[in-house]
A and B are shown apart, each in its own frame.
Chain A
Amino acid sequence: MDQMFVNIKAALVGLSDKVFPDWVGVLVSIAVSIVAIALLGPLIMMYLTLIERKVVARMQNRIGPNRVGKYGLLQPLADGVKMLIKEDIVPRNADKVLHLLAPILIVAPALLVFAVLPFGRNMTAVDLNVGILFFAAISSIGTIGIFMAAWGSNNKFSVLGGMRSVAQMISYEIPMVMSVVPVLLAVGSLSTNAIVEAQADWHWFVFTPWGFLGCVIFFLCGVAECNRSPFDLAEAESEIIAGFHTEYSGMKFALFYMAEFMSAFTISGMTTTLFLGGWQGPLLPSWLWFFLKTYGLIFIMLWFRATLPRLRVDQLMALAWKFLLPLSLVNIVATCIWHFLSDEAFFTPAAFLVPLALLVFSYWGLMKLNQPYMPEKRVYPLVD
């Protein structure tokens, strides 16, 4: 069960090896991985839309889509058909090339990141030794796509959304990468596989003080990175219509949607990999553990969306620069302390408490420093 998909792939490669020369086997192996990911990405996205609508509906005391198929299970297909048969409108004064390229440029990196996600034991499509670096680099390319879409549409709302998005992505990229550094320090490798393997035997990093904080920071920044609420300023409906994809319709619009959902998935998957032990877990097959944890995180994203109103631009920036960034820097120091105190063991009281104290203290300090100015409540002695 655990190695089911790995065995299927091995069988396919073995089959081609019997008939064709060696190099065809290599090609088959590549093709199988590519096809699997190219199918998985859109499939995940399609059902994420359904899950999102269902979960948010339940949180708002509604039922959600339940007409197409049982429990609305075919709703994504209906949506897909709708998107495909919609008219594709390109504004007259738009930059046609940019307008066309932008959705592609947004989807491609979102799909590329799937390549380094360890879906299970031996189930990383490409075990890059710079996996995390690849992830950080590729996932920030989406920003260019968003700004291309905004600029190419020749619409002021789009440009506003695009500029917001760029400002937001650049700000959140920094604490995000900074919060990964502790993991890299602890593991000593950039490969996603090595990171997961380092968390065997319940040594999930989220159980350490720095790991927990890193997990929260990474996840929050990830939510901001893929423009999901409450950080969805780039497409704030009430202010700028739909932001950068105002001028998109039909399948191009669907591609933006797809990119958003796929990056929501990859961000959750990455958080799982880095902090929640990846596919490590007892009893159940490894890939099932990975998906369980990832969907748990996705549920939290949807939960955010159903709960929190959108942040203001200044609040968004303040959160990234004045709170998350310093905290993630302190986190690196805390990790170093942990590393030297723990002496190769995962849990020792000193190694646990000292970083914890440091982090709580800096959390408290940052909170005090970030306190917004509250004018004293006025008293009117003569009134009562």
Chain B
Amino acid sequence: MFFGLGILRGMNITLMNFIRSYTRKRGSGEIGALTTVQYPEERLPEKEKFRNFPFLIYDDKPEDLRCVACDICAQDCPPRCIYIVKETDEAGKPMKKPAVFDIDFTVCMNCGICEEVCPFDAIFMDHEFEIADSDRHDKLLYHRDDLLKTNEHFHKIRPNDGREVDTRLAEAKEAKAKKDEARKKAAEAKAAAKAKAEAEKATEAKEDKPPETEKESDPQ
């Protein structure tokens, strides 16, 4: 309409915000109310799907962690910040356990791919984000024992995922048990069949023995 009317309107809006920032309650979500959360003292509730750094999960004792050192996560990690060395037994044979499992948190980009690719549900993304340190070379290179956390912790931070993973694992275990049983049965059956076959063969052999002996004795 006239010069400056839009400016006055805009200034009215900022002024109302200024006044309401005092009159309205902080965090109430009303227009003009302050939205700041005073971080170290106050926190927003964590969301379950929030993720930042990975951790290794173990069920009962820290020794039997789920990770089998298959190296899949290390291969798939985009910035290649996982370093795994397999444990070896006395004979020098590699075991299904990591001796070294290092993640460089200065390099990790929180993508969560390690969690996705792990076939053994052994690595998951944590909610811990206050890991700042003044020494980026030693303190932010997390070793196997720093990364270990219990299944309970996982359930605490991500209840839904924890339940899902547990049922999946239980199913897998059951299936495996069934399969094992089936295999056992099959093996038994096979063994029985074999034994039977052998027995048959043996009887056959008995029957065929005379010529065989003949044959054997032939060159003599």
Residues on A facing B (Cβ under 8 Å): 55, 58-63, 303-304, 306-308, 323, 363-364, 367, 370
Contact between A62 and B13, CB atoms less than 8 A apart: no
Taken together as a complex, chains A and B put the C-alpha atoms of A61 and B10 apart, in Å, by 15
Contact between B11 and A307, CB atoms less than 8 A apart: yes
Measured between beta carbons, the chain B residues less than 8 angstroms from A303 are 11, 14-15, 18
Report the minimal beta-carbon distance from A328 to chain B, rounded to whole angstroms.
15
Contact between A306 and B35, CB atoms less than 8 A apart: no
Contact between B35 and A367, CB atoms less than 8 A apart: no
Contact between B2 and A59, CB atoms less than 8 A apart: no
Contact between B11 and A61, CB atoms less than 8 A apart: no
Contact between B2 and A367, CB atoms less than 8 A apart: yes
The total number of A-B Cβ pairs within 8 Å is: 45
Contact between A61 and B14, CB atoms less than 8 A apart: no
Contact between A61 and B15, CB atoms less than 8 A apart: no
Measured between beta carbons, the chain A residues less than 8 angstroms from B2 are 363-364, 367
Q: Which of B26-55 touch A at CB < 8 Å?
A: 32-36, 38
In the complex, residue of chain B having the shortest beta-carbon distance to the beta carbon of A62: B36
Contact between A307 and B34, CB atoms less than 8 A apart: no
Residues on B facing A (Cβ under 8 Å): 2-3, 7, 10-11, 13-15, 17-18, 21-22, 32-36, 38
Contact between B36 and A63, CB atoms less than 8 A apart: yes
Measured between beta carbons, the chain A residues less than 8 angstroms from B34 are 61-63
Measured between beta carbons, the chain A residues less than 8 angstroms from B13 are 307
- Provide a sorted-by-A list of 12 A–B residue pairs whose CB atoms are within 8 angstroms: A55-B18, A58-B18, A59-B14, A59-B15, A59-B17, A59-B18, A61-B32, A61-B35, A62-B36, A307-B11, A307-B13, A308-B7
Taken together as a complex, chains A and B put the C-alpha atoms of A364 and B18 apart, in Å, by 32
Contact between B3 and A61, CB atoms less than 8 A apart: no
Measured between beta carbons, the chain B residues less than 8 angstroms from A307 are 7, 10-11, 13-14
Contact between A58 and B11, CB atoms less than 8 A apart: no
Measured between beta carbons, the chain B residues less than 8 angstroms from A370 are 3
Report the minimal beta-carbon distance from B138 to chain A, rounded to whole angstroms.
28
Best-surrounded residue of B2, B18, B35 (most CB of chain A within 10 A): B18
In the complex, residue of chain B having the shortest beta-carbon distance to the beta carbon of A58: B21
In the complex, residue of chain B having the shortest beta-carbon distance to the beta carbon of A230: B7
Taken together as a complex, chains A and B put the C-alpha atoms of A308 and B22 apart, in Å, by 22
Contact between B17 and A60, CB atoms less than 8 A apart: yes
Given contacts A306-B14, A363-B2, A363-B3, 14 further A-B contacts (CB under 8 A): A58-B17, A58-B18, A58-B21, A59-B14, A59-B17, A59-B21, A61-B33, A63-B36, A303-B14, A307-B7, A307-B11, A307-B14, A367-B2, A370-B3
Taken together as a complex, chains A and B put the C-alpha atoms of A62 and B33 apart, in Å, by 9
